[in-house]
Structure formats: structure tokens, C-alpha cells
Chains A and B, each alone.
Chain A
Amino acid sequence: MDNETINLTISCSPHVHSPDNTRSIMLDVVIALIPAMLGSMYFFGLRALLVMAVSVAACVAFEYLYRRILKKDATIGDCSAVVTGILLALVCPATIPYWAIIIGDFFAIIVVKQLFGGIGCNFLNPALAGRAFLFSYPVLMTTWPKIGTALHLIGSNADAVTAATPMAALHQGTLPADRLIDCLVGSVGGSMGETSAILLLAGFAYLLVRKIISARIPVSYVATVAVIAFLFPQGNDRLVWTGYQVLSGGLMLGAIFMATDYATSPVTKAGQIIYGIGCGLITMGIRYFGSYAEGVSYAILIMNVSVYLLDKIGTPKRFGYVKPKKEAEIK
């Protein structure tokens, strides 16, 4: 054995790593979104697939170009831009023009994510910030097509038959015309990926099994919404009102896939629970008192900026730390 011919790598321990990496985590999120993506195609047709494809392609292209032009290391391999592309598409109506979703992708990837340093450095959820930016075109963002309408694959869908969303009725303080079971299954008006609670919950189960997220944020978020709805019902039946509040609008998509975004949610257990409760409170505040019918995306964006503070509150107790005894106790 000749010492001269051996090339040994020197680095600090540890020398083994968990098989999970950023890319595998992002791909797990994509897998968890597959039921909702298939649902959006079932409810809104092929156009939903095209919107998602355009959005993903635009996100990846913007990230690639930005990092290429600024001579930074390429990061599209981590697949986080793919997740952003899918999520932004899922929170838009299927009628959204392609040019609009591309503008949203630009805002999400370039302004919100890359200008702050790229993956992990953004302080707002890129997809939700992209959606908020697109509300500069409020009509485009609220043209909810009726389920099963044949949408034009190319060209404007401004003439599409529209449907009222359950949220609009709830905002008026009345129960929606849709049955509760429709809200669960998803055959109601709304953004492409938000309508079916059951498909989103399937994705939630997958994320939990794969240990990609913990249940703390989604559960505390949805539970807060449910408690407030139950305590302050409108209409005759508390339980039915609560059911609609939980199953309608963007709550499931937001609580499971948006509020749990790593970069913009707390890392401490206590912080995550407070964060979920905060999201729930703001969501219900907007739903009850706001001029928008739905409050999920703004609730999450507002809580995004409190993450550092919440992590400070949630900082684990120091190992071996004992409170110094008060003088009285010593005596």
C-alpha cells in the first residue's frame, strides 16, 4: 500500500448524512400536490394543466436566468421553483391568462425569492406574494369558472360561465348554495387547486408520513378557524357554519402547503403553534370584517413577517439550565 498514490478527502465530521436532501424534499411536496393537481384538471379541464405547466416553466426559467446572469451557482436542480410554479397556479382561477401567471411567477421568483438571496432567504411565501401581486388585476383573479365549463385552451376566457364561490356567500353571512359534501369533494367554484379539501388532505397525509412537515401548523391553523366559526356562527346551525368555514376557500391549501413553507414559517415547536393560531385569527378577522371574501393568503403573508419573533419566543430551554433560586427560597 503506497501512501503517495492515495487521494484522501479531509473535512470536518460528520462524514455521513441522512439520505434526504433539498431536492428529495421538494419532490415529496410535488408528489403531495399530485391529487390536488389531478383534481384541478378534473374540475377545470385541460386548461388547468396548461396553466400549471406554463407557471412551472416560467418559474424555473426565471430562476435559471437570474442566477445565470448574476453568475451565481445554479439552483434549479433543487426543484423549489417547480413547487412555487405549481402552488401559484393552484391559487389562481383556471381562467387566468397565461401572460398574467407569468407576471406572477416573475414577482414570486425574482422579486420575492431571488432578490433576497434565493432559497431559504425569502421572508414572504413566493407563491402567495405572487398571488397578492396579481390582485393588481382583481377581475382576472376572481373570474371563477363554473365546474365543467369547457375553457378555451388558448385565448381569453373572459366570456366563461362563472360561478359564485362558497366564500362569497359566507362573506355575506349566509350559507352557500353548494352542499357541504361538494366543498369536501371540490365540485365548487374557486381557485384551481383549492376547491377539494379531501384531495389536499391526502397530500397532507403523505407529507406527514414522509415527515416533510409536522402537523403543528396546519392543525393549529384549522383548529383556530373552526373554534372561531363555532363560537361566532351566522345562520342557524353552528356545526354546518363551522363545516363551511373549514372546508371552503383556500384554508386547506393554505394551511397544508403555504403556511408550512419552510423559509417563511417558524422552526420551533411553540413558534409553529402560535404561528398557526395567528394565521387562523387573521383569516377569520378578514373573513368576518374584511372587504375581501377570503383571508387565507393575506393571513399567511402577515404571519410570515413574524417568524423571527416567534422563533425567539419558541427558543428551547437551555440544556441543564436551572433558574437561580430566589433569596427567600434559599433562606
Chain B
Amino acid sequence: MAGFFGGVHPNDRKALTSEKAIEPLPAPRQVVIPMSMHIGAPCAPLVKKGDSVTVGQKIGETTGLGVPVHASVSGTVVAVEPRPHPNGTNVMSVVIENDFQDTRCPDAVPPADPEALSGEELTRLIHEAGISGMGGATFPTDVKISSGLGKLDTIIVNAAECEPYITSDDRLLRETPERVIEGLKVLLKIFGLEKGYIGIETNKKTAISILKEQCPGEIEVRVLKTRYPQGAEKQLIQTITGRQVPPGGLPAAVGCGVFNAATCAAIYDAVYLGLPLVRRAVTVTGSAIRTPKNYLAPIGTPYTDLIAAADGFASDPYRVLTGGPMMGIAQFDLSVPVIKGTNAITCFSQKDNQEVKNPHCIRCGRCVGVCPMHLMPLYLYQAERKDNIDELNARNIGDCIECGSCAYICPARIPLVQSFKNAKAKVRAAAAKKG
């Protein structure tokens, strides 16, 4: 099997939660549902303060690229206002006071005969169910589908879950593999393809044997070497098909479409259960958490509720991350809600602090050896420090996927990803100036 160049082996620490079944979260008193949980334009709220809403009711309509937003609990809207969002900004959100009745929206019913739906109808249904990529990037799934129509020959379900600590996809595959498999079959039907792949890392042995048992002949389970970033889209495609997505191109350019395992399960829920994307599995983990667990949480649940459910902090948290430690976003306000791309909340205590004060590059070259995009991070870092835009472009800064392998391996602990985010901003600014 083809592999990808580079990569790192961080301690995965998945054992903290890998044997913890996904349990329903005690119903939150309030949920905060942002109008922007996808890449694209924020939705416009359809409800106002005082309205009563039901589970699955559409409360935000798209205004451009995007998917609609739905209520995840039944109850009363108590506010429609900007609230803190896990991306670090304040985003227009609908705040719902839970009535604990769990009343289902009468519109949220499954189609009479799901098998009879055409590809176009299925894509429409996926859009209406508010499904966007659940691996973290949150790209609207229906747009991914329609932009790939006629171009794809390979559909891959991303079940690699290469981020350390996170087990929400692993548990999903162990507990309800049929949802992922059926979701993939829906995608195969839409694209008119015969065969699909599920890519999964070797460290999920139970999930692999369950999948191998349950997958029909047209779905091939590809067991992948456990190596970060195996689950990065370009690296997953490279490992499974040997194809390299061209610079600046989309996976469709090499005939591939990659869909996260949880996204496939959401497609199943929408097509066969009539349920929009209103809840998801979230791993609550890390050294600062007293009882790390997996929860099925309504979208909009504040982090504080999830952390409290996991028996709170065992020690003062030093960092709280949306996602895992390699690409997760550090949070400063724990009232932020779970959104569609929130696969984990990882909390570290002070003993995990590995920062150094004045990092000096020693030119060991390890960053070059691990970069899965074939870049030379040490020279990009130099160019960024000198604001050398030409050098940044010549060294293909735009190819960087910000996986963090270089910054992980760096013995000097230089914040390379931060430098490259800055570098990209500088390159964009310079290009804008040029006109």
C-alpha cells in the first residue's frame, strides 16, 4: 500500500476514553446555537425571543454558502444575540431554554420511501438536514457532493481519527457501525459508484473487526498505519489511492471524495430517521478531567455542562481545547457551545506545559523529515521572520496544511504553525496590496 511522506507518532492517549461507551449527556438547561457552524456565510435566525421551538425545527436559514441550523432541544427562545463561539469570536446565536420535554418537530420525519429518492433529492435532503463535515473543517456536505458529481471515482470514509486523545469516531464505529455504512451507501448511490472505502488506523482494533464483519462486499475497509496526520484529507487519499492532490486543488481533482465517519452517520440519521444534525458524539478528555468520557451531546451544549458531567476538573486546567492536541483550538471562555465540528474537548493540566521561553532553531532538520506536504519548515520560518514574501511563495507556504507535525517534533519547540499562519496572512496582504 502506498503511504505518505513524514508524519509523527505522538502518544495517542486514546485509552483514556476508548472503552467508554457514548452516553447521553444529562439534558442541558440551556443551549446556545450559533448561526455559523460551517465554512461559509452565517445563517439568518428564523426565530425571535419568546418563540417556542421543537427538536429538529429549523431556526436558521442559509444566506449564501452554508447549511441551515436546527434547534437541538425543545423549549423557549430566551435570546437571539452574539455569544462566544469556539472559534474565538462572538457569533449571532439562538439561546434556547430547555423544557426537558424533548418534543420532536413535526417536520422532522423520515421520507416515506428513502430508497426511492434520486441523487438530487438526497443531496437536497442532506442540505436541509444541516450537515457539514464533522471532522472539524465543517465544509457543507451537500456542496462537497454537488461539486464532485461526475468527477469522482473513489469515495473514502475518513475513520482514521489520527488526532491523539479523541475516540468519538472510534466509539461511533463500534456502537452503531450500520449508520456509517448506510450513510456511505447513500453517498455511493448519489455518485453512482460501485465501491467505497473506509480508512481506519490500526490502533482501533475492535472497530476494525466490527467493520470487517459488517461491511458488504462493495465497501472495503482499509487498515492504515497509525501515524499522524493519517486522517488529513490529502494524506488519506495518498495512502489509499497513491494519488497526490495537486497544489491548491481539491480532492475531486484526483477523483476522490472524503467524508468523515460521523458525517456519514449524520447522513444516515437524516435519510432514514428524518433527524437533522442536532446532536453529536463528543470526547471529553485530558489530564485535567476527573472522569474522561464520551457523550452524545445536543448541538449548542455549553462546554461547562460537558465538563461538569465528566465530574469536573481534577486539577486546574491549563489549556482547554476544541478538538485534539495537534490541531485543536485553545479556548478562553468555557461557556462556548458544542458545534457541528466539535469532536472533542481536551483539557490539559499544568504538568502538560511544554513551552519554552526563547526557542532557537538548531537546524536539526527533523521538521523537514516529518512534513507530510514535503515542505521545509525551518526555511519557511526564517522567511516569515524576515517578512520575505518571495521566499515564502517560492517555498510553497500555501501548501502547508497546519497539521503541526513540524512544531510537534521541533526540539527547540518553535511555534512553527503560528509562524506559518502569520506567513499566510502576510502573503495574502502582500497579494492584496499588489492588486
Contacts and interface: CB of A to CB of B under 8 A. Distances in A.
A236 interface: no
A78 B5 CA distance: 30
B89 interface: no
Contacts of A11: 319, 330, 355, 415, 418
B412 A318 contact: no
Given A6-B316, A13-B407, A25-B411, 15 more contacts: A10-B332, A12-B330, A12-B421, A13-B321, A13-B402, A15-B330, A16-B11, A16-B352, A119-B360, A120-B362, A120-B363, A262-B363, A268-B365, A311-B379, A319-B234
Interface stretch (B27-35, B57-65, B240-248, B265-273): B240-248
Given A14-B326, A16-B164, A22-B362, A267 B376 contact: yes
A24 B362 CA distance: 13
8 contacts: A9-B318, A17-B413, A18-B408, A78-B360, A262-B364, A316-B5, A316-B371, A319-B247
Interface string A294-326: 000000000000000001000111111110000
A17 B365 contact: no
Given A1-B313, A322-B246, A120 B361 contact: yes
Interface stretch (B101-109, B187-195, B304-312, B425-433): B304-312
Nearest to A15: B325
Contacts of B321: 13, 15
B383 to A, nearest CB: 13
Contact of B373 (A16, A263, A319): A319
A18 B409 contact: yes
A15 B415 contact: no
B362 A262 contact: yes
B404 A20 contact: no
Interface string A72-85: 01010010100000
A313 to B, nearest CB: 12
Contacts of B379: 311
Contacts of B410: 17-18
Contact of A321 (B247, B308, B330, B402): B247
A322 B409 CA distance: 29
A320 B244 contact: yes
B320 interface: yes
Contacts of A8: 317-320, 330-332, 334
A12 B415 contact: yes
B399 interface: yes
A291 interface: no
A99 to B, nearest CB: 31
A249 B289 CA distance: 59
B244 A319 contact: yes
A6 B361 contact: no
A136 interface: no
Interface string B356-399: 11101111110010011111101100000000000000001001
A9 B372 CA distance: 28
A320 B374 CA distance: 10
A268 B412 CA distance: 19
B334 A6 contact: yes
Nearest to A11: B330
A96 to B, nearest CB: 28
A12 B412 CA distance: 16
Nearest to A14: B404
B228 to A, nearest CB: 10
A118 interface: yes
The CB with the most chain B CB atoms within 10 A, among A8, A13, A17, is that of A13
Contact of B307 (A1, A266, A311, A315): A1
A285 B164 CA distance: 52
A1 B316 CA distance: 11
Contacts of B333: 3
Given A6-B317, A7-B316, A262-B362, A17 B354 contact: yes
Given A13-B329, A14-B407, A15-B348, A318 B396 contact: yes
B335 interface: yes
A274 to B, nearest CB: 15
Interface in B228-275: 234, 244-247, 249
A208 to B, nearest CB: 15
Contact of A320 (B249, B320, B356): B249
Nearest to B88: A10
Contact of A24 (B365, B372, B411): B411
Interface string B314-349: 001111110001111111111100000000001010
A200 B52 CA distance: 78
B8 interface: yes
B417 interface: yes
Which 4 pairs between the two chains have the least Cβ-Cβ distance? A267-B365, A14-B404, A12-B418, A320-B244
Contacts of B319: 8-9, 11, 15
B10 interface: yes
A187 to B, nearest CB: 35
B247 A318 contact: yes
Nearest to A25: B411
Contacts of A119: 360, 362
Task: Report which residue of A8, A119, A318 has the largest number of chain B beta carbons within 10 angstroms of its beta carbon.
Answer: A8
A13 B417 contact: yes
Interface in A232-278: 262-263, 266-268
Given A7-B316, A13-B404, A24-B411, A268 B368 contact: yes
B229 to A, nearest CB: 11
Given A10-B332, A311-B379, A319 B374 contact: yes
Interface string A202-218: 00000000000000000
A32 to B, nearest CB: 15
B226 to A, nearest CB: 16
A13 B361 CA distance: 18
Contacts of B246: 320-322
A6 B373 CA distance: 38
Contacts of B348: 15
B269 to A, nearest CB: 30
Interface in A1-60: 1, 3, 6-18, 20-22, 24-25
A118 B354 CA distance: 22
Nearest to B253: A320
Contacts of B362: 22, 25, 80, 119-120, 262-263
Contact of A15 (B328, B332, B399): B328
B417 A12 contact: yes
A127 to B, nearest CB: 15
A318 B313 contact: no
Contact of A3 (B312, B335, B361, B365): B335
B379 to A, nearest CB: 7
Nearest to A16: B325
B318 A315 contact: no
